[in-house]
Amino acid sequence: MSWKTLTYFGDSMLLIPTAVIIALVLPWKSDNRQTVWYWLLAFGLAGLLVSLSKILFLGFGIGSARFNFTGFSGHSAMSATLWPVMMWLVSGRFPTFWRTLTIGIGYLIPMMVGLSRLVIHAHSFSEVLTGLMLGFTLSSAFLLTQRRTALKGFSLAQVCVALLVPLVLMSHGRVATTQQFLERFSAHLAGLEKPYTRADLFRD
């Protein structure tokens, strides 16, 4: 598995459809009617905070040269929000050992995503670390609120259907253009001809 394949586990082109699938499945599989709203809050808050951190830098140059920080790593934050919850949902009826192991894999995947962002030089260490901290905080808070929630199990056919869209997206390999959108939006919002770059952070 290449680093670019690993980094795709944090791409919005994969995560947003998967998050929607989780939201559609939760009312059917959870005995707690509030679960889906907690999930939408956690995932939506992750996206909002990542976007705000990027807009502050891209549009207004608010970052840290000392820590080489231009905003949360979106791949790290969003994957750390989603994968622990996805694995919790899928493992709802597993024996305790296998359920713990599966959820543990849900925490491991984002760490590999974060590492891949460092290897391909897409983010600094501070951006990956804070992104993971943000995402893990939100996913862990969600899981704590659901510790008394009972989940129905998945049949093999249901797992295949739930994973069909993510697998198709991964095989296609298309990446989201959220960064380019945020760059254009931030520059327009701040009245700039072009957004701030990491080079501007160190030059300032």
Map tokens 């390999």 to a residue.
173
pTM value is 0.91
Enter the tokens of residue 44.
């939506």
pLDDT band, very low/low/confident/very high, at 1 (cuts 50, 70, 90): low
Count the residues in the chain: 204
**Closest among 102, 132, 126 to 114, alpha carbons compared:** 132
Q: Report the chain's mean pLDDT, rounded to a whole number.
A: 92
Inform me whether the pLDDT recorded for 169 exceeds 80: no
Which pLDDT score is estimated for 27? 93
Name beta bridge partners: 30.
151
Inform me whether the pLDDT recorded for 129 exceeds 90: yes
Which pLDDT score is estimated for 171? 66
| C-alpha to C-alpha distance for 41 and 65, rounded to whole angstroms | 32
Tell me if 153 sits within 8 A of 93, measured CB to CB. Answer: yes
Inform me whether the pLDDT recorded for 166 exceeds 90: no
| C-alpha to C-alpha distance for 70 and 79, rounded to whole angstroms | 19
